Structure 1
Amino acid sequence: MPTYVYEVINPDGTPGERFEVIQRMSDPVLTEHPKTGESVRRVISAAFISGKWSDSEAKRTLNDDKRLGDLGFTKYVKSSKGTYEKRAGDGPDLISSD
């Protein structure tokens, strides 16, 4: 279901607090704040589209150690205090501050 952004309409007509509501596309547009009863209007905002350059795709790609190595990155993960183990890429297998 989509997430819609609404804003409170202040008595002088200026925009007030913004909040998000998850609604079906077939649900009627809200005219009152669900908690306070103040007048609200729906705000047009950019849609979230997951694709090749989205945040979710970047997280998926950067969490794949083999892919990171293929892209030329080296990834180290902290294994104990002052010690890091290589998980992807070139370089020493272990980095230690000792």
Structure 2
Amino acid sequence: MPTYVYEVVNPDGSAGERFEVIQRMSEPILTQHPETGEPVRRVITAANISGKWSDAEAKRTLNDDKRLGELGFTKYVKSSSGKYEKRAGDGPDLISAD
């Protein structure tokens, strides 16, 4: 289901607080805030489409250690002992502050 952005319409006609609502496309557009009853209008925003260069794809790429190494990055993760262990890429296997 799509997520729609609405904003409260202030008494002077200016834009107020914005909020998101998950609704079916077949549902009517809201005219009142679901909690406060204030008048609202739907705001047109850019679509969030997952694709090759989307935020979702970036998160998947950055969380994939093998892929990070292929892209030339080195990833270190702090262990419970306070040392940093290599998870991807080139470089020393362990980095410590000692």
Provide TM-score, normalisation by structure 2. Answer: 0.93
Secondary structure in 2 matching 1:80: coil
Name the structure where strand makes up a greater proportion of residues. 1
Unaligned segments of structure 1, at least 5 residues: none
Taking only aligned residues, the RMSD between alpha carbons, in angstroms, comes to 1.1
Question: 2: CA distance between counterparts of 1:40 and 1:14?
Answer: 11
Equivalences, count:
98
CA deviation after TM superposition for structure 1 residue 12, in Å: 1.4
- Shift >2 Å, 4+ stretches: none
Partner of 2:85: 85
Unaligned segments of structure 2, at least 5 residues: none
Question: 2: CA distance between counterparts of 1:97 and 1:38?
Answer: 56
Partner of 1:55: 55
Letter in 2 for 1:72: G
Provide TM-score, normalisation by structure 1. Answer: 0.93
Deviations 1:14-52 (A, max 9, x none): 111111111000000011111111111111011110000
